[in-house]
Amino acid sequence: MVYESIPRTVRIILLGEPGVGKTSLILSLVTEEFAEHVPPKAEEITIPADVTPEQVPTNIVDVCLNEQTIEQVAEEIEKAHVICIVFSVDKQETLNKIASYWLPFVRDSCSDDYRKPVILVGNKIDLIDYSVIDNIWDIAEEYPEVDRCIECSAKTLTNVSEMFYNAQKAVLHPIHPIYCIEEQELTERCKKALARIFKICDMDGDGVLDDFEITIFQKKCFESPLQLQVLDEVKSVIAQNVAAGIENDCITMRGFIFLHCLFIQRGRNETTWTVLRKFGYDETLELTHSYLYPNIKIPIGCTSELSYKGQQFLTQLFEKYDKDKDGMLNPTELKNVFSCCPRIPWHNLRYTVPTNEKGYLTLQGWMCRWTLMTLLDLQETSAYLAYLGYNFLENDTQKSAFHVTRDKKVDIAKKQSSRNVYQCHIIGPRTCGKTSICRSFLGIAHKKIKPHSHERGDGNSPENTCCINTIHVYGQEKYLILKEIPITRVSDPLQPHEVNCDVACLVYDVAASRSFEYIARIYIKYFAESHIPVLIVGTKGDALITRQEYILQPEVFCNKYQLLAPQIFNIRENKHDVFVKLATMAAFPHLKHFASMAGENSSWWKAGIGFAAATIMGFVLIKMLNVQRK
């Protein structure tokens, strides 16, 4: 069954046989007194939001078969959000017509994929001294759209306001998405939603909600604490009705789900819906688009990174699910983290981030995954933070989990990058060893792990073009992303997105005589006139260095274009300084030509002094702010 979105205005229509009291019910609600003489049909009435319990404007429509055609009534049903079918409790024939005529007519007037909620209203209970509710349940079982049944009296005003309030609730807090009347049980979708909510509220991950966690849940959902006496009573009810609903005086998931089932059975749909909506669910029990994807704009030239608040949340999440406290997430623990998500948000590629020997994610690798995802797909990261409860636990939207960097042009003008995540494109001919550099960066060059089939050779498969790790630049931790640019033919031009990066690493094979020519031409064509720093790296340094068949040898070429001398890279030595230089060049983009001054080390030394000074000044400012707060 498909349900429409919750309307901003509730439209109620009253149907039923002539003489059952439809018009009297409307007039009694509005005037708060019974009218002895009523017109055949009441005019449409609008009740302002501020006088309704749910604070929603409500329109009430009366139907009169003597004054309206069947087609006009069908049109009114189509426009309504909820239908009240009224019968007279003292006339059995009016009750019989509900099943034989009115309910089929309502179904026929609604679209096939949407059944509007129906309230069965027994009017004139002042004329009898018994209840007819039991006679209605057979009808309700045959027609699942029947939300509830209510007895009232327009003459004595008994349950009149309650009737219209329940009609509002049937629209705003519909029962059918969350509860199956036939089975007297929560729907599977509702159970799944409540299971996710339970896991989010279980902040220490021990599988139960203790008093502190329940208090936090209560405050955030209902803006008021739960009294200890009430909490004890709730636990007592759960313990009496559900096996294993309470463990060590804490509420289990079974107890939590039972509690909501009990709320609904007692007519308190709004309690469960308040919780569901607090956690982002709409009336179809799907997370809303606005909940998953807050509007975050990334201007041209800027990038997205995790803020301190986002990093803190993800660190706590890692620690919560690292059950054995070994500092890594094994496959079971990783699966548990994302048990309330559509899937694990990244492909399980072993070598893209730091892992242990078994391929398990360390905390460093975990943060690298999220950092890369935030840079490449902010929308996806935002959605998964919502799935995992960031909005609830941080009491904020995901916007606070991210930081949008300033324009790169400003970084160049200010002579220092404000970013913590740098993109390095690794460019070179096939088989020159680009993948070896990435593997070395992750520290797996010598580990005896059988590589995936697509990791052989130069890793030109799109799935294996990125790796990320942390690197320290003058004492500050940064993230460096190495992205291999796949080269099919040396004659193919590079695309703008393949050139644009924070630092470029042009790679050639020192043992292949035609290898350097390719990157020399690449530099002249794409980087010589750009603001992108470039480092030239010669791989396979343990082999015999061959003279390059190019007009300039690598050292002369670098000197001519004021670049650092070629860095000879040997995977067996795992030269970490190459990655430090790449990250430092990205951090100080204005120093594109690092070798343009008195010597290579001159710019590095000055850059280091500047960075250290900025760091010290930052610490001084933080200290001053802390003193002022005290």
Among 296, 202, 293, smallest CA distance to 250 is for 202
Tokens found for residue 275: 């919780």
* CATH placement of domain 411-449+462-597: 3.40.50.300
Asked, colleague to colleague, whether 185-286 and 290-405 share their fold, the answer is yes
Q: Which amino acid is at 86?
A: V
Average pLDDT of 299-316? Answer: 95
Q: Minimum mean pLDDT among 12-26, 173-187, 277-291: which range?
A: 173-187
Q: Compute the mean pLDDT over every residue in the chain, rounded to the nearest whole number.
A: 86
Cβ-based neighbour number of residue 63 at 10 Å: 21
Pick from 250-254, 260-264, 392-396: least confident: 392-396
Tens of pLDDT, residues 570-614: 877 766 889 999 999 999 887 766 554 434 444 444 444 454 444
Q: At the fourth CATH level, which superfamily is domain 185-286?
A: EF-hand (1.10.238.10)
Please tell me the least confidently modeled range out of 313-317, 445-449, 471-475: 445-449
Name the band, by pLDDT with cuts 50, 70 and 90, for residue 291. very high
User: With pLDDT > 70 as the criterion, what percentage of the chain qualifies?
Assistant: 88
Buried b (16+ CB within 10 A) or exposed e, 146-180: bbbbbbbbbbebbbbeebbbbbbbbbbbbbbbbbe
Handedness of CA 490, 492, 496, 497 (dihedral sign): negative
Domain borders along the chain are 10-172, 185-286, 290-405, 411-449+462-597, 601-629
Q: What are the DSSP calls for 344-367, one per residue?
A: -SS---TTSS-B-TT-PEEHHHHH
Inter-CA distances, 61 with 42, 83, 424, Å:
8, 10, 66
Q: pLDDT at position 273, please?
A: 95
What is the per-residue DSSP string for 441-505?
Answer: HTT-SS---PPPGGGSTT--SGGGSEEEEEEEETTEEEEEEEEE---S-TTSPPPHHHH-SSEEE
Tokens for 472, please give them. 């320290």
Band of the pLDDT at 66, cuts 50, 70, 90? confident
Most confidently modeled of 4-13, 488-497, 559-568, 617-626? 559-568
The residue-averaged pLDDT of 560-564 equals: 94
**146-151 and 118-123 as β-strands: parallel, antiparallel, unpaired?**
parallel
- Give the residues across from 468 on adjacent strands: 481
Residue range 328-343: mean pLDDT, rounded = 93
Residue 327 has pLDDT above 90, yes or no: yes
**Contacts for 131-137: CB closer than 8 Å, 24+ residues apart:** 132/89, 132/95, 135/95, 136/95
Query: Does 358 score more than 90 pLDDT?
Result: no
Q: Comparing 193-197, 238-242, 412-416, which segment has the lowest mean pLDDT?
A: 412-416
pLDDT higher than threshold 80 for residue 298? yes
Report the pLDDT value the prediction gives residue 596, as an integer from 0 to 100.
47
pLDDT higher at 148 or 337: 337
10-172: what CATH class? alpha beta
Confidence band of 489 (pLDDT split at 50, 70, 90)? confident
Q: Can you tell me the mean pLDDT for 92-104? A: 93
Task: State the architecture of 290-405 in CATH terms.
Answer: Orthogonal Bundle (1.10)
pLDDT score for 393: 84
**Cα(148)–Cα(136) distance, integer angstroms:** 10
For 251-259, which contacts have Cβ atoms below 8 Å and span 24 or more sequence positions? 251/208, 251/209, 251/214, 252/207, 252/208, 252/209, 253/195, 253/198, 253/207, 256/194, 256/198, 256/209, 257/186, 257/191, 257/194, 257/195, 257/198, 259/234
DSSP assigned state of 594: T
